[in-house]
Amino acid sequence: MNAVEIRNLSKSFRGMYAVDNLCMTIPVGAIYGFIGENGSGKSTTEKLICGHLVPDGGEIKLFGKNYTDAGVRVRVGALIENAGCFPNSSVWDNLMMQAINLGLENRAEEIDRVLKIVRMEKHSQLKFKKCSLGMKQRIGIAMALLGEPALLILDEPINGLDTEGMRIMREILVNITKNYGCTVLISSHILGELEKIATHYGIIRQGRMVMEMTASELEGRARVFVSLKTKDMQSAFGLLRKKYNNVRTEEGYIRVYDVNDTEEIVEYLLKNNHIVSKIKKNKIGLEEYYIELMSKKEES
């Protein structure tokens, strides 16, 4: 069974399609990294799943049921754009309201549990408006975690956080995804962070799904390359192009793509009187893969 199954979903605002015939499949238990540039339709898709927006067309199924099913929706936790808390109420009061809303029985215990997960147990009496951005995002996650959601939707939870905030948030997300077993749909611009936790990816562009893949598929598609520097870069570049198919000059280095053997390259250059001053093996990560994919789409 899939946690989320979207077929031909469309949503327009004043004639402009924010989401255009989008298809998406998120298996149960997956941590789905939803990637796309600003305005590509990530937030709109998430709002459609949460029932905040009415689609122009298409179908959304959550755990095999229509997304308007009250039983499914009560098991969806979401942090979309901001935490959605009352600024003059305390963290505790905000969580209590959500616990009441969900009809939870052991409210106080449940609030303590989620506050511990997001490491906010010492700040429960703080007014929401007094919290820092990082704290607000964590409270938003705590709100979404109340009532043991089966599907967690997190829209840019890392955005705007400082390095320490990002580290804490990553640890929290890893903890949630590993220990609480819910399906997670997480969108983010910070692909390096996403790469550390996602098991599946969906790349959206101009409201359309460009590609969906698993983390292992990404691993398979990730290209390796060797970066090197020599004294005479131009001559070495010409020489390497004669032997290897994909050689480029990038960021002050000569890059030989789809080659793993550094020794072979060094030997070849040495034979032709080129001394290698620097050499390292690299692998294209999610970010580079995404940029490459987007530039290919741009060209086409």
Partner 1 sequence: MNELNFKSPTFFERLKGMLGVDFYRLFHTPMFYIFLGIAAIIPAMILGTMGMENPQTGATAAPLYTNVWHIIAAEMPLYVVKNIADYAHMNMVFIFGGIMISIFIGHDYKSGYVKQLFTTHAKKQDYILSKTIVGAFSMACMCVTYLLGAVGAGLFTGISIKINVSSLVIAIISKMIMSLGWASLYTFLNIIFRRYFGVSIVSCFFFGTGILIIGAAAIFGNSSVLNIFLYGSSVYACLSSNIITLLVCLVCSVVWTLIYTIAGTRILSKCDVY
Q: Give me the least distance between CB of 37 and partner 1, in Å please.
A: 23
Is residue 144 within 8 A of residue 184, CB to CB? The reply is no
Burial of 51 (0-12, 13-18, 19+ CB in 10 A): middle
Distance CA 48, CA 67 (A): 9
Residues belonging to the chain: 300
Q: Is 143 in the site for partner 1 (CB under 8 A)?
A: yes
Distance CA 69, CA 61 (A): 9
Angle subtended at Cα 193 by Cα 256 and Cα 183, rounded to the nearest 5 degrees: 120
Q: Give me the least distance between CB of 153 and partner 1, in Å please.
A: 8
In the DSSP assignment, the letter for residue 223 is P
Q: Give me the least distance between CB of 186 and partner 1, in Å please.
A: 16
Q: Give me the least distance between CB of 149 and partner 1, in Å please.
A: 7
The residue written with tokens 């999610």 in the block is 286
Q: Give me the least distance between CB of 48 and partner 1, in Å please.
A: 10
Which residues ranging from 89 to 108 are in contact with partner 1 (CB under 8 A)?
89, 93, 96-98, 100-103
Q: Is 81 in the site for partner 1 (CB under 8 A)?
A: yes
Q: Give me the least distance between CB of 154 and partner 1, in Å please.
A: 12
Which residues ranging from 12 to 41 are in contact with partner 1 (CB under 8 A)?
28-29
Q: Which is nearer to partner 1, 176 or 269 (CB)?
A: 176
Angle subtended at Cα 266 by Cα 261 and Cα 271, rounded to the nearest 5 degrees: 130
Q: Which is nearer to partner 1, 20 or 155 (CB)?
A: 155
**What tokens were used for 122?**
């010492």
Site size toward partner 1, by CB under 8 A: 47
Q: Which of 85, 169, 185, 254 binds partner 1 (CB under 8 A)?
A: 85
Q: Is 276 in the site for partner 1 (CB under 8 A)?
A: no
Site string for partner 1, 39-78 (x = CB under 8 A): -----------xxxxx--------x-x-xxxxxxxxxxxx
Site string for partner 1, 174-193 (x = CB under 8 A): ------xxx-----------
Please give the helix or strand (H or E) that residue 295 lies within, else none.
helix 286-299
Q: Is 113 in the site for partner 1 (CB under 8 A)?
A: no
Q: Where are the beta strands (DSSP E) in the chain?
A: 2-13, 16-27, 31-35, 57-62, 65-66, 76-79, 151-155, 183-187, 200-205, 208-214, 224-230, 247-250, 253-257, 276-283
For binding to partner 1 (CB under 8 A), which residues are involved? Answer: 1, 28-29, 50-54, 63, 65, 67-78, 80-89, 93, 96-98, 100-103, 143, 148-150, 180-182
